Amino acid sequence: MNIDEFQVRGKEMIEYICEYLRTLEGKRVTANVDPGYLRPLLPKEAPAKGEPWDAIMRDVDSKIMPGITHWQHPRFHAYFPAGNSFPSILGDMLSDAIGCIGFSWAASPACTELETIVLDWYAKAIDLPPEFLAEHKSSKGGGVIQGSASECILVTMLAARTQAIRTLKEQDPNTEDSAFLPRLVAYCSTEAHSCAEKAAMICLVKLRVLEPDEKGSLRGKRLESAIREDVANGLVPFFVSTTLGTTGSCAFDNLVEIGPVCKLYPNIWLHVDGAYAGNAFICPEMRPLMTGIEHADSFNTNPNKWLLVNFDCSCLWVRDRVKLTSALVVDPLYLQHARSGESIDYRHWGIPLSRRFRALKLWFVMRSYGITGLQKYIRNHIRLARRFETLMRRDKRFEITNDVRVGLVCFRLKENDEINQELLANINASGRLHMIPARVMGKYILRFCVIKENATDDDIDYAVDVIEEHATEVMLAHYE
Ligand code: PLP
């Protein structure tokens, strides 16, 4: 394809995308296919000769689209939002066209510098403590875009592990680093995302998974008693992963209590994962939910969940960037450059060397919506979640099982788990609405998340109607 053809096909692709998004509502939200559906539809080998563009696009329509779960569909209420918006798509298109690989400042100065600046913008917009900003010459902190919240938790755990091993080595310099690993212990709550468990697996450290209170919030006392017990058994607590907005029920750990407990142990790194709900702190009225953030060593939130930025864009801020990079620096000659000491080289802030120009789409979104536009978007979702809650509470067959503070509502029929499983399976099979379940504090619940950018009262009312209709069917089938 040459540039002239690209110009034509590019415009056609925009047309295709607009048509896709305009007609989305008429489609099933979930794919109605079985595993392995695609293999018989495609040739066994890649074509030897290039094929006409129209043939490829015909196959997109007839073979790929039937297997898509439409995450941008107005009836998609599963997981958390897969952030998206037109400014973000355009920003990513430009990033793809520039095609730079920003592993160091020299590899593309604007790619690095825009990332640092936009992360400072966002840190200020959500009112993070100033130590997390890179803009002050005296500041040790700064922000970086990672591919996912899982990576944010992994790299901060790696950094904390490096710090802990260094301290242990001071007392015991002849011991191999790996010999300290069996003593290291990290903490999170049962409600933390499974990526904390994965990070501990990769780091080869113990993870103590603690029971939160009845609201799903990890409390200081529970953490403190676990730490004391572990210290008494010769273990070294080194990392606490907390969550503001848990995946299952959007519960908030109690940082006001947890922070001072961590401070009692100089080796403990306190991480705060706000992958979804952290974006809500762009609204001042939501910030009481982040009280205690001043105790954190690091914080992450994903604009690619709830700030209209498409995947991938997970923002991580650290209080001390040297502590982060000291776990990750390798510096071969071919990656060094003349300005190394004067600039940030983001390859030292994460696992991959190669990095896309992801700051561009976040910058496009922040500039085209402005802080007030983004606040309006978040507030609309919170308002609609409350509308959903109110309507569901009116139907006495249901109970609401979480404190609805942001855009997620958890509910269940006041019946056994099997009936609730059947309800969800039937709703999803209908293709009219898509939700997922979770097990929170031992209970099987259905999660309803407000997702669509410009969701309306009608979208919520439709969802409630569908749920009530299916509930009636399931109850009739069981009690007839
Ligand atoms: N943390 C929380 C609270 C989440 O809800 C999720 C995913 O939904 C994750 C971490 C993992 O996110 P990612 O897919 O960006 O790794």
Per-residue pLDDT, 339: 85
* Stretch (H or E) spanning 444: strand 443-449
Q: Would you say the C-alpha torsion 194, 223, 226, 250 has a positive or negative sign?
A: negative
Pocket test for ligand 1, best of 146, 150, 156 (most atoms within 8 A of CB): 150
List 408's β-bridge partners, or say none.
Answer: 449
CATH no., domain 3-82: 1.20.1340.10
Q: Is the CB of 314 under 6 A from ligand 1?
A: yes
- Residue 195 in contact with ligand 1 by CB distance below 6 A: yes
Alpha-carbon distance values, 62 to 41, 130, 180, 474 (Å): 9, 52, 56, 34
Residue 337: what pLDDT?
A: 86
Nearest-angstrom CA–CA distance, 247 and 195: 11
Q: What is the pLDDT of residue 266?
A: 82
Please enumerate in sequence order all residues whose Cβ is within 8 A of that of 460, keeping only pairs 6 or more positions apart, or say none.
384, 387, 388, 391, 450
Average pLDDT rounded to a whole number, residues 455-471: 97
Alpha helix segments (H runs only) across 34-128: 53-59, 86-98, 109-125
Give me the residue spans of the domains in the chain: 3-82, 100-357
Q: Does ligand 1 have an atom closer than 6 angstroms to the CB of 150?
A: yes
CATH placement of domain 100-357? 3.40.640.10
Name the residue with the closest Cα to ligand 1, atom 12: 149
Q: Give the number of the atom of ligand 1 that is nearest the alpha carbon of residue 148.
A: 15
Whole-number pLDDT of residue 318: 97
Residue 267's pLDDT is 85
For residue 312, give the ligand 1 atom closest to its CA. Answer: 15
149 lines ligand 1 (CB under 6 A): yes
pLDDT for the residue numbered 182: 96
Eight-class DSSP state of 180: G
pLDDT of residue 138: 81
pLDDT of residue 329: 87
Looking at ligand 1, which atom is closest to the CA of residue 152?
Answer: 16
Please give the helix or strand (H or E) that residue 155 lies within, else none.
Answer: helix 149-171
Q: Give dist(CA 442, CA 422) in Å, integer.
A: 18
Tokens of 445: 């619940």
Pocket mutation for ligand 1, best pick of 79, 244, 249, 276 (most atoms within 8 Å of C-beta): 276
Give yes or no for residue 447 CB within 6 A of ligand 1.
no
Residue 191 DSSP one-character state: T
At 101, which amino acid appears? I
User: pLDDT grade, residue 430 (50/70/90)?
Assistant: very high
Q: Which pLDDT score, from 0 to 100, does residue 139 have?
A: 84
Cis link prior to 395 (omega < 30° from 0)?
no
For every residue of 388-434, DSSP letters joined together read: HHHHHHHSTTEEE-S---SSEEEEEESS-HHHHHHHHHHHHHHTS-B
Task: For residue 11, give the 3-state DSSP assignment.
Answer: helix
Q: How far apart (Å, rounded) are the C-alpha atoms in residues 164 and 236?
A: 8
Long-range contacts of 109-112 (CB under 8 A, 24+ apart): 109/343, 111/355, 111/357, 111/359, 112/343, 112/344, 112/345, 112/346
> Predicted confidence band at 440 (pLDDT cuts at 50, 70, 90)?
confident
User: So what's the pLDDT on residue 278?
Assistant: 98
Report the alpha-carbon distance of residue 216 to residue 245 in Å, rounded: 10
Supply 321's token pair.
């960037």
Mean pLDDT value of segment 6-26? 96
276 lines ligand 1 (CB under 6 A): yes
The predicted complex's ipTM stands at 0.98
Q: How far is the CA of 296 from the centre of ligand 1 (A)?
A: 18
Identify the H or E element spanning 52.
Answer: none
Q: Average pLDDT, whole number, for the chain?
A: 95
Task: Using the predicted structure, report yes or no on whether residue 163 has a pLDDT greater than 80.
Answer: yes
List, for residues 288-342, the tens digit of each pLDDT value: 999 999 999 999 999 999 999 999 999 999 999 999 999 998 888 888 888 887 8
Tell me the residue type at 398.
F
Could you tell me the distance, in angstroms and rounded to a whole number, from the CA of residue 138 to the centre of ligand 1? 32
Q: Which residues pair with 300 in a beta bridge?
A: 273, 316
The pLDDT assigned to 338 comes to 81
Report the alpha-carbon distance of residue 314 to residue 81 in Å, rounded. 13
CA dihedral over 332, 179, 152, 446, signed as positive or negative: positive
The answer for residues whose C-beta is within 8 angstroms of residue 304's C-beta and 6 or more apart is: 82, 83, 310, 311, 312, 313, 314
Q: What is the DSSP letter of 216?
A: S
* Single-letter residue type at 180: F
> How many Cβ atoms sit within 10 Å of the Cβ of residue 182?
13
CA dist 355 and 102 (Å) reads 5
Give 44-90 pLDDT, tens digit per residue: 999 999 999 999 999 999 999 999 999 999 999 999 999 999 999 99
Mutation to probe ligand 1, out of 195, 241, 310 (largest number of atoms < 8 A from CB): 195
> How many Å lie between the centroid of ligand 1 and the Cα of residue 259?
22
Mean pLDDT of 419-442: 93
Split at pLDDT 50, 70, 90, the class of 442 is confident
Locate 429 and state its tokens.
């099979």
Q: Which atom of ligand 1 is nearest to the CA of 80?
A: 8
